[in-house]
Amino acid sequence: MTQKNPTVNIKEAPTGLALKIYNWKKSLKTLTPYLMLVGISLWLGTYYLFVEGWELPRFNKLPGPVEVITEWINPDPDWGISMFSPIYYEHIMISCRRIMIAFTIATCLGVPLGLFMGWSKTFRDYTFPILEVLRPIPILAWVPLAILMFSGFETPVIYLATLASLFVTTLNTLLGVESIDKEYFRAAKCLGSKPHHVFLHIVVPGSLPFIFTGLQISIGVAWFSLVAAEMVSGEFGLGYMIMDSYMNITYVTMVIGMLTLGFVGWVSSALVRLAGNRMMQWRVRALALEGR
Amino acid sequence: MQQSDIKNKNNSADISSAEKSTENSASLELRNVCRGFGDEWSREEVISDFSLSINPGELTVLVGPSGCGKTTLVNMLAGFDKPDTGQVLLNEKLITGPGMDRMVVFQETALMPWLTAYQNVVFGPKIRNDLPGRELKKKADYLFEKVGLVEFKDKYPIQLSGGMQRRAELARAMINDPLVMIMDEPFRGLDAMSRELMQEFFVRLFEENRRTNIFVTSEIDEAIFLADRLIVLSNRPTSVRKIIDIKLPRPRELNVLSSTEAYKYKRDAMELLHEEALKNFKRSTPKADS
Ligand SMILES: Nc1ncnc2c1ncn2[C@@H]1O[C@H](COP(=O)(O)OP(=O)(O)OP(=O)(O)O)[C@@H](O)[C@H]1O
Ligand SMILES: [Mg+2]
């Protein structure tokens, strides 16, 4: 007991910022961040060579990376929009706001809907065929209906993003409930659970991993349909910015819009993933044990 | 060791409600039970006309060839499944569904992965809300000590070894003071070493309070080591092939298995099981003459 083991050096577990720094330092020791950098440089390099270096046919009409980046950081942009122009942030903010509203509505409706569909066979028998018929209809096909139903620019756009996101969330939640092992239901019954206990303590936590996978897909789908909707109708937003610069033949601005969209989309799905990891500590540890 | 445990029990009267002996035992009975699966035209009888009574306070072990319907029997005893004809009775009363008087420890681990070991163990009393918080904590702490998992209370099931998971599951069942424990091959899948440790641990646990216990296994040594009564099952359609009373002295240690008596029991049981297994084998091998 009193003997110290020299090889094992037990320290207090770091918390908060110290833990973040520790994890960050640890990740610098793996290959992941370096491979990521190499990947990005390879992609940028190829893009540069194809468009600006060798000026290959088909590629030579596109704006090259040097051109795009110079414009992006130009305080006095040649084509009207760079990271110094307020309108740029207005487009981003408006799209983000729409996504937030659409994603929130879709999640608040889709998750309970999916949970009930998985939990109650009767409810599922009523609703599943409808879901399966509506789900494959491409979101662009809903545009005329959305414009007929709602006035203005804002509501139809949000409606379309919500719709697309809702189907994905519902289906994934339903699959999540179905993925739960029967043994857990049996154990819960054996321990004296009433149906509402089963719902709260088995159905909900058991389907969380699928729900969060679904939410990551659903926020992507929301961006996808939002931009499509903004291209068709709208006067602001990243989709509008891309379409508008295409119409005005300002291709550099268009590419800036596309890259911004990619970046914002990536951040939003990372946020969803983060929220998921917070809510599923048990899963984080399971994955850590598997070395992922 | 045994002595000190008993003393301990008397000292903490409120805790030992989990450990009350004989009076919380119950008898179970299967009367002419039949159960089959499939549609009318492709029906397969798994269990036909099965009768067996299980005495209170005894550890009854069911052994049988793989796939003979042991889990099917367990499901009916637990109330997850109903017999097609016949009756399953607990203390002379018909079993109509799962209940907390019968706790089941499953073949595969059924600890909820999203709850810590502690949360899993207190799951039953918590949702039924039938124990005041302080008492529940005391009882849970006592059980954690008993199964030797005190340091692992706040770990998630995935962070526990197979043997620890089984012990946590035992604690989760015992906290409810069931009349009967039903265990379906609980140690299957453990490595030989932890399996032996678990058997020794479990036999001590049983000997302490002698709760009616049904234990399913396909491992003959395990069966003889644990059993008061050994039920050898026949092949499908399953019925009782033979009942062997195991009169090895208790408390038992693993070395009883090397005694001549144990060897005799083993030889008897093996012979029967071998016959049954052979039947199964003959049925499933393709005919050589065609
Ligand atoms: N729900 C079911 N539907 C159809 N057939 C079933 C069902 N449950 C069990 N069976 C059949 O009943 C037979 C016995 O199954 P059971 O799981 O009870 O066997 P077992 O003795 O527990 O086997 P093992 O040793 O593999 O655990 C199997 O052949 C299986 O195909
Ligand atoms: Mg089985």
CATH number of residue A205's parent domain: 1.10.3720.10
Distance CA B189, CA A73 (A): 62
Q: How does B53-88 read in b/e, with b if 16+ C-beta sit within 10 Å? A: ebebbbbbbbbbbeebbbbbbbbbbbbbeebeebeb
Averaged pLDDT, B95-111: 87
Q: Please identify which residue in the block is written with the tokens 């491979």.
A: A35
Distance from residue B238's CA to the centre of ligand 2 (Å)? 13
Is A94 within the bounds of a domain? yes
Encode chain B in three state secondary structure.
CHHHHHHHHHHCCCHHHHHCCHHHCCCEEEEEEEEEECCHHHCEEEEEEEEEEECCCCEEEEECCCCCCHHHHHHHHHCCCCCCEEEEEECCEECCCCCCCEEEECCCCCCCCCCCHHHHHCHHHHHHCCCCHHHHHHHHHHHHHHHCCHHHCCCCHHHCCHHHHHHHHHHHHHCCCCCEEEEECCCCCCCHHHHHHHHHHHHHHHHHHCCEEEEEECCHHHHHHHCCEEEEECCCCECEEEEEECCCCCCCCHHHHHCHHHHHHHHHHHHHHHHHHHHHHHHHCCCCCC
* Burial class, A254, CB count within 10 angstroms (exposed 0-12 / middle 13-18 / buried 19+): buried
Is A71 within the bounds of a domain? no
Is A73 within the bounds of a domain? no
Is A68 within the bounds of a domain? no
Q: Which two tokens stand for residue B29?
A: 């009975």
B112 chain-A contacts, CB cut-off 8 A? 184, 187, 201-202, 205-206
pLDDT value of position B61: 94
Hey, are the CB atoms on A189 and B100 less than 8 Å from each other?
no
Is A64 within the bounds of a domain? no
A186 chain-B contacts, CB cut-off 8 A? 78, 80, 98, 104, 106, 110
Report residue B37: phi and psi, to 5°. Answer: -125, 160
pLDDT at B6 over 70: no
Percentage of chain B surpassing pLDDT 90? Answer: 31
Is A74 within the bounds of a domain? no
* Shortest CA distance from A182: residue in chain B: B110
The amino acid that residue B150 corresponds to is V
B182 chain-A contacts, CB cut-off 8 A? none
pLDDT value of position B172: 92
Mind telling me how many Å the CA of A16 is from chain B's nearest CA?
20
Sheet strands (E) in A189-290: none
Q: What angle do CA B196, B199, B200 make, to 5 degrees?
A: 90
Average pLDDT over chain B, rounded to whole? 84
Averaged pLDDT, B65-94: 89
Averaged pLDDT, B1-6: 42
pLDDT at B102 over 50: yes
ipTM of the complex: 0.82
Counted domains in chain A? 1
Hey, are the CB atoms on A186 and B104 less than 8 Å from each other?
yes
* Shortest CA distance from B119: residue in chain A: A201
Distance CA A76, CA A84 (A): 8
pLDDT value of position A188: 93
Is A19 within the bounds of a domain? no
Averaged pLDDT, B166-193: 90
Domain residue limits, chain B: 55-82+93-101+180-284, 112-177
3-state secondary structure of A141: helix
Give the number of the ligand closest to the Cα of residue B63: 1
Asked whether the CA dihedral B126, B128, B129, B134 is positive or negative, the reply is negative
Q: Which two tokens stand for residue A137?
A: 């209809």
What residues contact A282, with CB distance under 8 A and at least 6 apart?
Answer: B113, B114, B115, B116, B156, B158
pLDDT value of position B1: 40
pLDDT value of position B242: 87
Residue A83: domain span: 79-289
Averaged pLDDT, B193-208: 89
Q: What are residue B54's DSSP bridge partners?
A: B28
pLDDT value of position B100: 85
pLDDT at B216 over 90: yes
More confident residue, B276 or A89: A89
Distance CA A70, CA A83 (A): 11
Among B95, B253, B64, B120, residue whose Cα is nearest residue B180: B95
**Is B80's C-beta closer than 6 angstroms to any atom of ligand 1?**
no
Task: State the 10-residue block means of pLDDT for chain A, 292 residues long.
Answer: 51 78 87 92 93 87 89 87 90 94 96 94 93 91 88 88 94 95 91 92 94 94 90 85 91 93 94 90 76 59
Averaged pLDDT, B29-44: 87
Q: Does domain B55-82+93-101+180-284 have CATH number 3.40.50.1100?
A: no
